[in-house]
Each structure stands twice: as structure tokens, then as C-alpha cells.
């Protein structure tokens, strides 16, 4: 059993160590998301329209601005109400002053990639180190530890659900339907950037940190509703620096490109539904990029099948959702495993950087002033290179993914009429899988 000691990030004001919280029961008196406080509770509800097709240049203007008026507006309200653990107002000030990212001790590191360094000393304070198991990507949900049903309702910005009548709707005061287990958007009380929030699918079902088709599609719809390339969503699996085993995605707004978004790619294959799968080139972390698709559901299916494959094969990974939900990066990683095995240099361990999805994408959240002052492209590259799978192992993982998703395509087509394009999709995946196996061998 591989474990590492790490100071977990506090995402809620109600987050405590398990020994202090104990799971509790009965009326807690803090307006949480459990049975004791849900009777008669109401929250804003944003109902999005499920799109049949991806139409990036022809998006109908919704009756309510999702990103600017709702998400960021509600987030700023929580700033003013003092719900954050440290001065999140600095991010708000940064945003409204012409995107002056240097206002919150953030800088673009000189070099070809434009890695972003941020000094955020507050995120590793006030919590004692806790042992995290890093050798199992799938672990059962444990209600006795912190989970998102224990957050206060004041930390939740709104419910996020698909519209029942096919039109975008906003209800400022909608009842919480316990039976349908709503998906919600909540603040991260330890933000690393402006508008840092959590998307928690079907919160009351208490799902473990495990991507499924419904949850990833929901995340793509959230990115699509934001309709802004600078608003991204990220996902960390267990073993890849997720610290809370309750299904959630993170998201925030950063008005500069991530280095990984600028990296060149090489097309590997086409997937069912018009999705193109490519390999990231000339970047310290090896990974795949999924783009296109005739609908968000097509793109979601390709990514989800790949994530399920990694989960079932116990391979930790991170996901970045970019370009308003039309581009998804899938990044298997091994840093926590190396850390547990004692294979990471003391120099890198001393930085206390947990290379999760944001760091892997090129937004380096640094916890020591000395690391921030000495931030360089070489240092960023050296850290991220330790995160990446070796070329040989990466090709093995790609072969496993392609075998799994080609089987998924074949299984799906067995219950539908096949047309010529579908057969070509399956053939392309099988050929790509064989090529990956040859390279790995």
C-alpha cells in the first residue's frame, strides 16, 4: 500500500479532519446539504439547453449571461461576504484592473512556453499533514470523512441542471429536489484564481471521485455555457492529487493561455462521432488531446471511455477542459507514485508543489517565496517531467486506451445500424491501437 503525507487543500469552511468531524448526525445547525438542513431549502437554478450539435461560431445569446452575471457575480458576492479563507478580493481587484495578473503575485515566466507562476502561501497553512493512499484510483465513498454534503449552503452558488423544456432558464430561488440529487456549483474557499469554483455532479448521491458519462458531459456543458476560452475546468483522479473522494471538477477564470494549450499536437486517429485524438508534442507531460465531435456528447463519450479505461486499469490521471468545452486534454501521471516510492528528489519535494491539473497545464502554484522568486522555465520543466509517464509507458497506456475505446465503439455499433463512416471509425481506432502496441514493444 503506497501512501504519501500531504497537507490537503481546504475547499470548504466546514472542512475538518475526520477525527474532529466524526461524520456527525442530526441537526447540525449550520445549513448544510444533508437531511438535517435540506427540508424547504432553496438555491438559484441555472437550467442549460442541451445542444444537438457543436456550433462554436453560432451560439445563440442566452437570456442570462452565465459566466459574467451568474458565476462570477455570485463568486464576487461570496468574496464580499468574507467566505474565503484568505484575501480572495485580490483576485477580484486583479480582474477589474485590466487583467493585471501581477497584482496577485502572479507572473508569466520568460521562455518559449510562458509558464505562469503564482505565489500562494496560504494554501498549505493551518492544516496538519495527512496520509493519502495513492495506489488506488478507485476507492469507495466514505461518508465519515469530509465530503461536499457537509458544506454550508451559503458556499453553493447555484444548481446546474439541463432544462426540461429545451430552453435556457434561470430561477433565482428554486427548491432543492432531493430525489433527483441536483448538481451544484460551489466556491473553493482556497482559490488560486478569479472565480475558482467546484462543480459537484449529483451531490446528494455521494459519488466517489470517478468520472462517468453523465458527469463529464455535465462539465462540458458548463464550459460551453461559459463560452469563454479563458474559463477552464479541471479534474484530478485519486492518485493524481485529488484529496477529496467525492466526485467534483474544479474551474476558474485566467485571462492568459495555458502553456499546454499552445503546445503542438500530432493527430493519432479519428474516433466515432467526428472526434479527433492527437498526441501532445514538445511538452514535459505526455498526454492526449480530444477535439471536435458532431456534438458535445460525441466528445464526452470519447473522453469518458478513455477515463474509465484508466480508472479500471488503476492509472492516475488529470483532465483539462479547454476552448469552451470543445477541446479536452487527458494526462496520465505518476508523480504521487514516485513520491511514495522515494524516487522524487528532495529539492522537488521541498517545494511542496502538488502537480495536479493546473500545474500540469502550466499554471504553477508555488507555496514558498524563494521558489516564486527563482521561478524559471527550466525549473517548471524539471518538475513536470517527473510527473510524466516515460515514453515507453505512455505508449503502453495509449494502446490500452485505444483497445478499450475501439471495443466501446464496436459494442455501441452492435445495437445500431452501421454506416460506412462508422466502420471507418472502428478501423482507424484498431489501426491506431496496433501502431501504439508496436511502438510500445
Collect all residues with Cβ–Cβ distance below 8 Å to 68 and sequence separation of at least 6. Answer: none
Give the angle subtended at the CA of 355 by the CAs of 296 and 214, to the nearest 5°.
25
Please report the DSSP string for 176-203 in residue order: --TTT---EEEE-SS-SSTT-EEEETTG
Instruction: Identify each DSSP E strand in 327-407 by its residue range.
Output: 327-332, 363-366
On the 0-12 / 13-18 / 19+ scale of CB atoms within 10 A, 378 is exposed
Q: Which three cell numbers stand for residue 306?
A: 478513455
Residue whose C-alpha cell reads 498526454 in the numeric block: 287
Helices 89-96 + 72-80 axis angle, to 10: 130
Collect all residues with Cβ–Cβ distance below 8 Å to 77 and sequence separation of at least 6. Answer: none
Are the C-beta atoms of residues 129 and 7 closer than 8 Å to each other? yes
Helix ranges (DSSP H) in 51-153: 72-80, 89-96
Q: Which residues are catalytic?
A: 248
Residue whose C-alpha cell reads 469518458 in the numeric block: 304
Amino acid at each position: 500500500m503506497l501512501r504519501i503525507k500531504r497537507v490537503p487543500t481546504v475547499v470548504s469552511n466546514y472542512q475538518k479532519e475526520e477525527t474532529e468531524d466524526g461524520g456527525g448526525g442530526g441537526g447540525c445547525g449550520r445549513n448544510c446539504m444533508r437531511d438535517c438542513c435540506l427540508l424547504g431549502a432553496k438555491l438559484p437554478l441555472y437550467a442549460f439547453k442541451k445542444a444537438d450539435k457543436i456550433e462554436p461560431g453560432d451560439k445563440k445569446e442566452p437570456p442570462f449571461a452565465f459566466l459574467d452575471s451568474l458565476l462570477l457575480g455570485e463568486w464576487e458576492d461570496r468574496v464580499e461576504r468574507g467566505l474565503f479563507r484568505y484575501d480572495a478580493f485580490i483576485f477580484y481587484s486583479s480582474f477589474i484592473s485590466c487583467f493585471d495578473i501581477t497584482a496577485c503575485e502572479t507572473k508569466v515566466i520568460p521562455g518559449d512556453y510562458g509558464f505562469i507562476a503564482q505565489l500562494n502561501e496560504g494554501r498549505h497553512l493551518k492544516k496538519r499533514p495527512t496520509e493519502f493512499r495513492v495506489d488506488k484510483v478507485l476507492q469507495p465513498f466514505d461518508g465519515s470523512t469530509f465530503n461536499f454534503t457537509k458544506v454550508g449552503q451559503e458556499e453553493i452558488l447555484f444548481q446546474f441542471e439541463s432544462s426540461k423544456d429545451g430552453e435556457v432558464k434561470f430561477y433565482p430561488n428554486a427548491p432543492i429536489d432531493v430525489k433527483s440529487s441536483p448538481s451544484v456549483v460551489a466556491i473553493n474557499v482556497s482559490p488560486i484564481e478569479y472565480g475558482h469554483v467546484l462543480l459537484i455532479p449529483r451531490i446528494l448521491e455521494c459519488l466517489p471521485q470517478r468520472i462517468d458519462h453523465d458527469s463529464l458531459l455535465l462539465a462540458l456543458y458548463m464550459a460551453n455555457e461559459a463560452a469563454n476560452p479563458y474559463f477552464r475546468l479541471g479534474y484530478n483522479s485519486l492518485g493524481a492529487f485529488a484529496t477529496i473522494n467525492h466526485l467534483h471538477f474544479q474551474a476558474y477564470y485566467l485571462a492568459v493561455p495555458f502553456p499546454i494549450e499552445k503546445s503542438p499536437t500530432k493527430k493519432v486517429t479519428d474516433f466515432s462521432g467526428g472526434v479527433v485524438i492527437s498526441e501532445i508534442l514538445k511538452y514535459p507531460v505526455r498526454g492526449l488531446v480530444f477535439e471536435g465531435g458532431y456534438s458535445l456528447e460525441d466528445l464526452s463519450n470519447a473522453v469518458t471511455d478513455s477515463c474509465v479505461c484508466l480508472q479500471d486499469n488503476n492509472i492516475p490521471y488529470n483532465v483539462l477542459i479547454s476552448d469552451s468545452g470543445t477541446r479536452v486534454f487527458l494526462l496520465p501521471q505518476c508523480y504521487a507514485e514516485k513520491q511514495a516510492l522515494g524516487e522524487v528528489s528532495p529539492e522537488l519535494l521541498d517545494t511542496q508543489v502538488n502537480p495536479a491539473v493546473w500545474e500540469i497545464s502550466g499554471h504553477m502554484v508555488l507555496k514558498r517565496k524563494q521558489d516564486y522568486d527563482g521561478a524559471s522555465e527550466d525549473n517548471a520543466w524539471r518538475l513536470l517531467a517527473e510527473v510524466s509517464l516515460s515514453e515507453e509507458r505512455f505508449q503502453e497506456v495509449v494502446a490500452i486506451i485505444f483497445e478499450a475505446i475501439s471495443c466501446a465503439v464496436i459494442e455501441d455499433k452492435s445495437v445500431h445500424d452501421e454506416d460506412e463512416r462508422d466502420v471507418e471509425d472502428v478501423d482507424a481506432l484498431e489501426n491506431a491501437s496496433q501502431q501504439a502496441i508496436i511502438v510500445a514493444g
